[in-house]
Structure formats: structure tokens, C-alpha cells
Amino acid sequence: MADYVTVGPARTWYEQQGDGDPLVLLHGGMVDSRWFEPNVGPLAERFRVYTPDLRGHGRTADVEGPITFQAMADDMIVFLEQAVGRPADVLGHSVGAFVWLLVALQRPELVNRMVLISGGFSKDGEAVPDAPWDVDLLEQFLGPSYAEVSPDGAAHFRVVAEKIGEMSRREPYLPVAELAKVPHRTLLMLADDDIVTLAHLVEMYDAMPNAELAVVPGTSHFLTQEKPDLVNRLVLGFLTEDPVPTVAPLRRAPAAG
């Protein structure tokens, strides 16, 4: 079932599938909710899965002004309040991962557990920090898919690409100390050849008090498509099973009384 939620100037398109507790999947920049096609089916066997399109992406029209992480977080806060109507598990990839991190910090009561895939907390974690933002190449690679569904038309791809490029020159950024304020049980997932460095994700893991870490071997930033069965098993295991009592805990060792 597809529908819209009006969020300030944005009118967010979303689809929902399955029954059970709510799970909201949030895609990365310059793609849309179709990114999760290899993942939705298995997840919807256990959850009511919501797949919104961020502003300016997919079936959600662009709005005037810049696209920022904070604007997208504001959209998702209202989405959780209006479309879901209760605390939800959330999964985000790339841009979507940082959006959920902001939501968890600003409205923690709306989030149960988080799965953050291929997303860091600052630009310091970029594997190729000097990579050019080539709008022509992006249009060649991603423009046809955008044109299939965008209410703004094919020519607007370059406008959105420029907005995301401008955002990416400055963001994301959070001081590492802010991560200690995230109480939610969180699965951090990364490809072993990702656009976020492993060292950065380990720093994130060390800073978050209730985080777990998974590195998917033999994959890139497209890990949800490259090894969907493995990614789906990791996500479902995290969301449907209680943490196991580990035999030799160090990080999770009980504090001395």
C-alpha cells in the first residue's frame, strides 16, 4: 500500500508491506526506496515495513531551498509520528543512516532499535575525501532510474544532485562525544570495501554504549544488493533475537560494584 504524509513543505511518499511491529527503511542519497528491493520481502515476513522516499528523491517531490540532514530528520520525525504512530525499529543506509542518528538523538522516544549501514558520523570517516562530485557522471548512472518515478521530471535530477553535493561538502558532522548520548541498541554494519572507513566505524562503535558491529566481507557500498541474503540474516537476527550472554565479555563486562 502506498500513501503520502505531508511534512511541512514536503509531501513524503511511502509504501508499507507486511504485518507485525513497525520497521522503517531509509535509503541513501540520489537513490530511493527501490534500493531495498532485495531486502523488503524477507523483512516484511516479520515486520510491517515502511519505505519512505526522502524529499527530492523517488516519488517525493523536491521543495524549495537546500536539502540538509536536519531537514530530512525533521521529515522523518513527523513521518514516525503521523504514518507509523508508535516507536519503530529503523534501518538506514548511507545518508539514511545519519538521518536516523539525528532522529535518535533529538527524539529518542520514537526509536526502538537501529540498524545503520554504511553511514558515519562525520566527514572524517570518508574513505575518499577528495572524490569529485561529478553531476554528469551521476546523471548518467542514476538519472534514468530517477526519471522513472520522480514527480519533478527527468531534468530536475541535476537540481537535486547539486543540492546533495552541496550538503555533502559540509555534512555529516557530529562530535564523537554526542554518540555516547544514543542509548538505543544499534547494529552498525559496513562493507569491507565501503566509502566509510573501517577505522571510522570502529570509532563510532567504541563511542556508542549499546552498539554491535558487523563487517560484510567481499562487498562495497552496494552490500544490500551484493549480498542481500547475508545482510537480511544479520538484520533479522539483530531485530528478532535477544542479545546472547557472551562467554568472555570485555566491552560488555558488568561494571564493578
CATH number at residue 88: 3.40.50.1820
* Structural domain boundaries, residue 60: 2-240
Query: Is residue 257 a part of any domain in this protein?
Result: no
Query: Is residue 29 a part of any domain in this protein?
Result: yes
Query: Is residue 245 a part of any domain in this protein?
Result: no
Q: What pTM does this model have?
A: 0.96
Residue 94 backbone dihedrals phi, psi, to 5 degrees:
60, -115
Query: Is residue 247 a part of any domain in this protein?
Result: no
- As a whole number, the mean pLDDT across the chain is 96
pLDDT in tens, 13-56: 999 999 999 999 999 999 999 999 999 999 999 999 999 999 99
Query: Is residue 159 a part of any domain in this protein?
Result: yes
Overall number of domains in the chain: 1
